[in-house]
Amino acid sequence: MRWSYVEAGDDEIQREVHQSQRSLGLDPDLKLKVEAVTGPQLDHHQCRPLPLIQQDGGSCSHKYTWTNNYNKIMVIDYVHQYLITCGTLFQGICEKRHLSNISTMEPPNYTTYVVNVNQTSSTLAFIAPGPTDDPSQPDEVNVLYVAETFLKNWLYSSIPPLCSRKLSDFTLAYKNRDFYEESRLIFDKTHRNIFLVNYVYGFSSAGYSFFLARQPREIPAKEYHSVLIRLCQKDKAYRSYTEVPLVCRTKDGTYNQLQAASVGTAGRKLALSLGVSLPSKVIYAVFSSGQVTSSRSALCVYSLDSVNRVITDAWKACFNGEGDYGGVHLKGYKSCTKNTELAITEKYCGEVKTNNPLAIPDPIVADALVTFPEVPNRVITALGVSITHEYTVAFAGTSDGHVSKVSVDSNTSANMYETVPIASGEAFKSDVAFDEEGEHLYLLTETKVSTILHVW
């Protein structure tokens, strides 16, 4: 059986994990409490979902066969008490299971497809505030942000690389047909099948949604680099979309292939060295040098306040008529249009239809805190960070089942003090979770769930 996701909740909700064909609820000791079977089911990737065929009396020229399910999204909707899972069956629909008993669920929406059916393409999702087209709702409600490598589904090509979806039925959170505005990003049709973005990590902070990814530097895709993507959560039509490259630098060269990331506050010592106030957030990221499969890796940290200032300055420059907006994948490059009547501040949220989307050419560069020893066939695949008062400790999971522990002393200094085998020979998945107290760290491989007790 293959494991794909882990979510750690409070004592009442416990831990939710997904195994190929099953979703499981575990107690803090990882003992089984309840399970839900999600596959196999009768399906065919070139047919409409069988429940729709049975409902409307249609047909398909292909034979439905028992097909395994592979979950690509698992998130917890704490407000409505649902476990949301989206898998490769039925053209990529989502299901809402009751947290009190995940073996029961709401009737699925078989007409809305959220993920593509390719098991290996990157997919990430999280719940955060976003816009709505429902006039009975507040301006902002919780929505499901979904980022996914664009691959055409067998029947449907409308699954965007980045979008916001309603938690009720998973349709797009905002649609205005009069102005052709929707809460999604559209890549240029000429390049979308070859401009393949690998989304690595996503999170919400202070009114923005962020995504970290690897993507081609240009077309044709001879070289990849890493970018941070930011969206204003009040933006209904993704006009605030901004991307900026990230680079991790050492005295021996640059590391720009993102492997794993985590976001959180900084310990007091790290916060002082970064010049940020507590509890400001920072991004912890591990990069490789050259190829993403390289065993040469380095850990860098980026102040989110500094990242936001860079983005605000770039918007100011563009509305001052400096540089270009767009990108090769964003319907081409165009010269920024000067608008002296608009005062761009850190709260700019895409209110103007011009000068977007914005791809900043110059990278944000950070000096590496530590480089990981080169071990053949070992790369960093997972990253979690724990904070207690003054101290910051990063846990880096590897492709061969080891965990390296790094004490972060400042924005330029860290010490890797231990590497321990946890699941020897197996690669850790990118999903990492801590319990509410921050005392237990949970990691996944293809075949097992592992925990590190008392991380301090």
Q: Summarize pLDDT for 333-392 with one digit per residue, the tens.
A: 999 999 988 889 999 999 999 999 999 999 999 999 999 988 888 899 999 998 876 788
Per-residue pLDDT of 114-126, as tens digits, reads 998 888 889 999 9
Q: Are 426 and 448 in contact (CB under 8 A)?
A: yes
Buried b (16+ CB within 10 A) or exposed e, 213-241: bbbbeeeeeeebbbbbbbbbbbbbbbbbb
Q: What are phi and psi of 223, to 5 degrees?
A: -145, 140
pLDDT of 423 > 90? The answer is: no
SS3 338: coil
Residue 247 amino acid letter: V
Q: What angle do CA 101, 107, 110 make, to 5 degrees?
A: 130
Instruction: Please compute, for residue 121, the number of CA atoms within 13 A of its CA located in the half-sphere on the CB side.
Output: 18
Per-residue pLDDT of 222-257, as tens digits, reads 889 999 999 999 999 999 999 999 999 998 889 999
For residue 441, what are the β-bridge partners? 434, 452
As a residue count, the chain comes to 456
Q: Which of 175-179, 320-324, 407-411 has the lowest mean pLDDT?
A: 175-179
Which of 436, 433, 455 lies closest to 18 in space, CA to CA? 433
pLDDT of residue 17: 47
The pTM assigned to this predicted structure is: 0.91
The pLDDT-based confidence of 153 (bands split at 50, 70, 90) is: low
The pLDDT-based confidence of 187 (bands split at 50, 70, 90) is: confident
Alpha-carbon separation of residue 450 from 30, 124, 316, 332, 358 (angstroms) = 9, 21, 47, 45, 41
